[in-house]
Chains A and B, each alone.
Chain A
Amino acid sequence: MLRSLAAKAVVPVALTVTGFVVVCCSLLYGYIRADMVSAAVRQEIGLADTIVKSTRYAMLKADRETLRQTISDIGSQRGVEHVRVFNKKGLVMFSADPREIGALVDKETEGCSECHAGETPALRLGPMEQARNFHNARGEEVLAITAPIYNEAGCAEAACHFHPEGNRVLGTLDIGLSQHDLRSNLINLQGRMVVFCAMVLVLTVGGVLALLRRNVFVPLYRLRGYARTVAGGGELPALGGAEEVEEIGGHVRDLSASLRRCQEELSAARQRVAALEKRLEE
C-alpha cells in the first residue's frame, strides 16, 4: 500500500505538515505556560503585598487579635493553602493553621534560603525568586510567595512597640496558593492544541487525497483500464476527461490501431509467401 502512487503523494505531505505543526505547537505551549506561570507569580506577589498593606495598621497598633483574625480569614479562602507571618527570627507569629504558631523555621528552608544564602541577608528579591513551587500533602501543586515586611518610617517612630531604624526587615509573609486552576487551564490548552494538530493532519491528508484522487488518480486509473482494453485488441470510443488524459488516450488508440494494421499486413504477407512456396513445390 505504501508503494502506491497515492501513498507516495500523501505520506510525505502529511508527515511534513503535521510534524512541523506539532513542533511549533509544542514550543508555543511552552511559551504560553511560561507566560501563565509568570502572570500567576505576579498576581500572587500583588496579593501578598495587598495583605501586608492591609494588615499594616493592625501591626502598627499592635492589634494582634485583628491580625490573627485577618490571617485566619484569608487562610479560609478557597485556593489558599497556607498563610503565615514570621518574625525576624523565623518564628511563626501568625498563621491560618493554629498548630504552626510558635514553630521555628530554618533559614535554609526553601523560601527562606533565597534571602539568607549569603552572610548578609538580601533585602530585595526578583519576582521569580520570591516564588517557589512544591506539592502539598494531597499531592497538589502549590505556588508560594515570600513577601518581606519592611520597617517603614511609621514603624520605627511608633509609641507602642518600636523597631530600630537599622532593622530593615521586620518579618516575612508567606502565602501559598493552589495551582489547581492553572494546571487545569494548561491541560485544557494542551488538549486544544492536540485537537488542532489532529485537525491539521486530517485536513492535510483529506484535502490532498481528495484533490489528487479527483484530478489525478481517477483519470489515471481510467486511462490504465482504457489502455489495457485497447492493447488487448478491444474497440473503445475516444477517452474523455482532462485534456492530458484525452491526448494520452488518443495516442494509445492510434498506436493500437497502427499495430493491428501492421499485424494484418504481416499476416496477409505470410499467407502470400505460403501460397508461393506451395506453387513452387508443385
Chain B
Amino acid sequence: MGCPIGSERADLTNSAAESAGEGNERREACNLRIKGLRGRSVQGAVGLVLFALLSLLALRTETLFPVIPAGLRRLLGASPSTDLISIALVVYSFSALILILSRMMGGDLRYRGWAHLGYLGGFYLFYLYAEALRENFWAIFAAGMTIFALEYFNLWTACQDEIRREEKLLRFLTAPNEQGREGD
C-alpha cells in the first residue's frame, strides 16, 4: 500500500502547478489586453491627422480648381445653395457632438470617427461645387477638429480606465505568487 500522505502531497503539487499555469495564462491574457487597449487609444490621434490631411487636400483642390468645369456642372446639375449647406453643417455638428457626449456616458471602447471623415469630406465637396469653399473652410475645419478631438478624448479616457482595471488585476494575479515564493 502506498503512502497516502505522499500521494496527497503529489496531488497538491500537481494542483499547485496547474494553478500556476493558469495564473501565467491569465497574466499573459491581461498583458495582451493592455497592449490592445494602448493600440486602440491611438486610433483617435490617427483620425485627427487624417482629417487634417483631408482639409489640406480640400484647400489644395480649391486652389487648383477654383471654377468647376462647365461639362461637370451640366452633368451634375446646379449645386444646392450655400445657405442650405451651412444649415446642414450646423445641424450635423450639433447632432454629432450630442451623440459623442451621450456615448461618453457609457464608456464605449469603439472608435466611430471614421464615418465623420466621410461626412466632412462630403461638406468640403458640396462647398467646393458651390464655389464657396474658401469662405466656409474654417467652419468645416472647426467642426471637424471639435468632433475628432472629442472622439479622441472619449476613446482615450475609456481605454485608460480599462488599462487601469487590467493593471489592477495584473497586480492581484502577480502578488500571491510573490508571497508564495517569499514563504519558500
Contacts and interface: CB of A to CB of B under 8 A. Distances in A.
Interface of A: 2-3, 8, 11-12, 15-16, 18-20, 22-24, 26-27, 30-31, 33-34
A8 B159 CA distance: 13
Given A2-B157, A15-B146, A20-B94, 18 more contacts: A2-B153, A11-B153, A12-B101, A16-B146, A19-B97, A19-B149, A20-B93, A23-B90, A23-B93, A23-B143, A24-B90, A26-B136, A26-B139, A26-B142, A27-B86, A27-B136, A30-B132, A30-B135
A8, A12, A22, A27 — most chain B CB neighbours (10 Å)? A27
Given A3-B160, A20-B94, A12 B136 contact: no
B53 to A, nearest CB: 20
Interface of B: 86, 89-90, 93-94, 97, 101, 104, 132, 135-136, 138-139, 142-143, 145-147, 149-150, 153-154, 156-157, 160
B104 A27 contact: no
B130 to A, nearest CB: 12
A99 to B, nearest CB: 33
B90 to A, nearest CB: 7
Where chain B touches its partner, the secondary structure class is helix
Contacts of A33: 135
A8 B101 CA distance: 12
B167 to A, nearest CB: 13
14 contacts: A3-B160, A12-B153, A16-B150, A19-B146, A19-B147, A20-B94, A23-B89, A23-B146, A26-B138, A26-B142, A27-B89, A27-B136, A30-B136, A33-B135
Contacts of B157: 2-3, 8
A8 B156 CA distance: 11
A27 B94 CA distance: 14
Given A23-B89, A23-B93, A23-B146, A15 B153 contact: yes
